[in-house]
Structure formats: structure tokens, C-alpha cells
Amino acid sequence: MFENIGICARGGPAQPAAARRGPVGTPTDTGSPPLPASGHSSLSGSGSGQTGEAARRYAALDLGTNNCRLLVAEARGRGFRVVDAFSRIVRLGEGVSLSGRLGDAAMDRAVEALKICQRKLVDRRVERARLVATEACRTAENGGHFLDRVRDEVGLELEIVSRETEARLAVMGCASLVDRDGDGAILFDIGGGSSELVWLDTHSRSGKGLTSIGRSIRAWTSLPVGVVTLADRHGGLDVDDEKFERMTAEVSEMLERFDPGHALDRAAREGRVHFLGTSGTVTTLAGVYLGLARYDRRQVDGTWLEAGDVADMIGRVRAMSYRDRVESPCIGADRADLVIAGCAILEAIRRRWPCPRLRVADRGLREGILTELIAEDRDGGGRRGGPQRGRHHGHDGRAGERAR
């Protein structure tokens, strides 16, 4: 039975000494007003994350504006062990910022990727999952029609999550990378269609676990801009200095409307908070900085970059021609026309809060979903009843139990 609640994986040389790394921790080491946690039911009630003698399997699917990504894992104590993963750039939101609609070709690409995910969910015998769609489906006029098509053709019923939920799940997935010796972090997730920012104030936090992480959230915002939408409006192939500044200014104007107070400005200036970036933009910059012949998540995830290093990497990528970006092992053809837009969003964030350090996270929303699902089972927090969220159809076409 299945319950639906709802990477460039490459090896390279040793990283330079300047890229300092602290203890990375496990993906589930989770320590405006705080974002509320959401509740979901468990197919077999509360438990320890085990089914008989076998570890219970969980899945998290994130259909974003640019990527379709799946993570399948087994519960292991207070963490999890990944048993399968899938990632494909589908550009579902291509052109949405201009037309307001999902394009036919984009929907076709996404459906084909989701068919692969559906087979993995069945083949891996996943028991509990959350399948979410984000900005492209939130904003497109025909987003609902597309989800109906996915349900009918693929057998998956996706849940469109709010920007608030997207930000909260990113926090849960990355919280273990916050420097415990400082006063917190400015977490940002530069997506394809939106970009989430969260101020985590760990200085005033007490306690441990997911509830404590929620209390650390002092303010958050979601900007209606991402790498796909910004590149749609300004172009991404040949970006000169003037175009880059227009991109950055557009994002900076949005950031000016986010006012978390002077305390964050002061903490950033004094170096008491650091950036925590989870996105293809920052992992790409880290891979370029480390000089990786092939992208290697194990070297990138948890890497520290000084502000000067980040500025140098943005400058280096901006100086590349489109062909150079295509040939770069840490950028490639799929991201070559988007990475400059990501750099512009990052530059706007850096200008708003001049933090001296940035920690790179090759983890995020999917890990946050897994963390939440496993914690609910471990702590007995699953609830039966409530609104139904989604459905998964097995090979025989029968609907599995819905999440609540």
C-alpha cells in the first residue's frame, strides 16, 4: 500500500583549502511569525519508521518550474538512507511569466519525467510519500488542467503547496548546516519560478527538534522570481553588464519590500549570521570554485565560501560565453542559459545583506519532506481524517490510499 501526502552527480579533485567545511551532519539533523508545521496521516498509524523487519520507505517528489526531482529513502534512526533518486530538467514553467500558461511541450516533458517517478515509487515499494508542485503550477492559468492530466495519464495526484510551505520545507531540509556558533542564517532557495528567503535566528532559540526549528524563523518572504522567469524576461544566452544590472535591480526592488527589521541588517554587517544557499545557482558556483572536473555532491554540500570568493565566482561565470558555460562540467547545456539569472538573484541578495560567508547546501525541499514524514511517524504525529491531498495508482490502476 502506498500513501501519498500530498543531481550533476559527478567526481572531481580534492577541494582547495580555502573552501572550509564544518561537520555537515545528516540530511535530517533538524535541530513574519514562525511558519506552522503541517500534519499528515500515516497509512498504518504511528510507528517507528519500520514495517515488520524491513525499513519503511518514504518518497518526496518536487515538481518545480525547472526540475522534476524524486528522492526515495528508508528511515534509519533519526535520519534516513537514500535508496533511489531521480532528477530531470523539464522547464515546466518556461514562458509562463510571459504567457501566463504552461506550454504544451513543457507539459509533455514533465509528464514523461513523472512517469519515471511513478515507476520508481511502485518498484521501490514506497509506503508513504508527499508529491508537490510549486510555482509554475501555482501561477499558470492551466495549472489545474495539467494536474488533471498527470492524474489521468500518470496515476499521480500532485499537491500544489503554498510559498510558505515551500519555505518551511527548505528550512527543514537544510537546518543542520546552520553554524551553531553564530546567531543564525539567511537561508535562500533560488528556484525556477520563485525564490524563498528565511531569517533563522538561532540565538534566541531554545530546545531541539522540528518545533525548535520553527521557533527560529523570525521572518520569511517569497519573491515571485526565479532563474527561468528572470531569463524569460531578460534573456540568458548573451548577458552583458547592462542586462545583468537590470536583472539585479529587478530583484533588488522586490527585496526592498521585505522588511524584517534592523536587527537582521545589523547581524549581517557584524558577521553574526551567514548565508545558507540551496539552489542550482549556488551549487554550480561552488563546483566552479572547487575546480571540479565533474560535479560531486559530496564535495559541494556543506562547503563554506567567503564573500570575496562568491563575488569572484559570479564574475567568472559572467565572463564566460554561452558556449563556455555549456562546456563547463558544473554548468552544462541544461543550465547554461539560466545560471546568469541565478547569479543576478544572488547578487541582489548579497547587496541587501552583506554577509561575510555563504554555506552551500545541495539539499532542500525533498529532504525537508522526508524529515517531516519520518519525524511524524517516529513521534506518533500522524493524523487520520482531514482533507484528502493526493492519490497514487499502482500498475493495476487501483487507487492507493490518499493522504490526509
Domain boundaries, the chain: 3-9+39-161+370-379, 164-360
Burial-class residue 29 by CB neighbours within 10 Å (0-12, 13-18, 19+): middle
Q: 70: which DSSP letter?
A: E
Residue numbers of the chain with a pLDDT score lower than 70: 1-54, 204-214, 381-404
pLDDT of residue 216: 84
Pairing, β 159-160 against β 67-76:
unpaired
Pairing, β 195-201 against β 217-223:
antiparallel
pLDDT of residue 29: 28
pLDDT of residue 54: 66
Helix or strand or coil: residue 139? helix
- pTM (two decimals): 0.78
pLDDT of residue 230: 97
Closest C-alpha among 275, 295, 269, 274 to residue 284: 295
Q: 259: which DSSP letter?
A: -
- DSSP conformation letters of 337-349: TTHHHHHHHHHHH
- Give the cell for residue 294: 565533474
Amino acid at 104: D
CA distance linking residue 13 with residue 370, whole number of Å: 31
pLDDT of residue 207: 47
Instruction: Return the axis-axis angle of helices 339-352 and 280-290, rounded to nearest 10°.
Output: 100
Kind plus residue range of the DSSP H or E element containing 364: none
Q: Which CATH architecture describes the domain 3-9+39-161+370-379? A: 2-Layer Sandwich (3.30)
pLDDT of residue 263: 86
pLDDT of residue 180: 87
pLDDT of residue 117: 98
pLDDT of residue 198: 95
If phi over 0 gives left and psi between -120 and 50 gives alpha, with beta otherwise, what is residue 152?
Answer: alpha
Q: Which CATH architecture describes the domain 164-360? A: 2-Layer Sandwich (3.30)
pLDDT of residue 18: 36
Q: How far is CA 155 from CA 4, 119, 139, 387, in A?
A: 11, 10, 23, 19
Closest C-alpha among 193, 247, 236, 251 to residue 66: 193
Q: Same CATH topology for 3-9+39-161+370-379 and 164-360? A: yes
Q: What angle do CA 277, 296, 365 make, to 5 degrees?
A: 40
Residues 6+ apart with CB under 8 A from 373: 5, 40, 58, 60, 128, 129, 130
- DSSP conformation letters of 303-330: BEEEHHHHHHHHHHHHHS-HHHHHH-TT
Q: How far is CA 256 from CA 148, 317, 351, in A?
A: 38, 26, 11
Give the alpha-carbon dihedral of 120, 125, 127, 133, to 10 degrees.
0
